[in-house]
Amino acid sequence: MMLQLAYRLIVLCFAAFLVRYVWEEKNVWNQVGAAVVLVLFVLRAFLWK
């Protein structure tokens, strides 16, 4: 249980980093790419419980 919580905390931290990256990035294709990676990453982490 604690391990799962820790895993999800790490996922959320990385997701927050990706959101910040998209927000700050100056190239629109990098923004789109990072947003897609963000979605895949979050889905993989939370949907495949």
Partner 1 sequence: MKGIGHWRGNRLTAAASLLLGAMIGLLSVSAFRGMWEPDPVFPSPWLTRKAMLADYHPALKNTPGDTEVFVFEGGEPGGSLLVTGGVHANEAAGFMAALLLVENLKVEKGKVVVIPRANASAFTHSEPQEGSPQRYGIEVPGGVRSFRLGARLTNPVHQWPDPSLFRTPAGQIVAGAEARNLNRCFPGRPRGSLTEQVAWGILEVIRQEGIGLGIDLHESSPEYPVINAIVFHEKAAEMAAVAQMDLQFEGLDFRLEASPRNLRGLSHREWGDHGGIRALLLETPNPVQGRLKGRPTPELVVTGRDPFYLKAAGLGRLFIPYDTAGAPLSWRVARHLAAVEAILASLEEVEPDLAVAWSGLPEWRAVVEQGVGAFLRPGTGGGPRTDGGGGVAGQAGGGARRPPQPGRP
Interacting positions 5-44 with partner 1 (CB under 8 A): 19, 22-32, 34-36, 38-39, 42-43
Which CB, 2 or 23, lies closer to partner 1?
23
| CA 22 – CA 35 distance, rounded (Å) | 7
**How far apart, in Å, are the Cα atoms of 38 and each of 1, 2, 6, 23, 25?**
24, 24, 19, 12, 14
Which CB, 5 or 27, lies closer to partner 1?
27
Which CB, 10 or 40, lies closer to partner 1?
40
Q: How far is the CB of 17 from partner 1 (least distance, A)?
A: 14
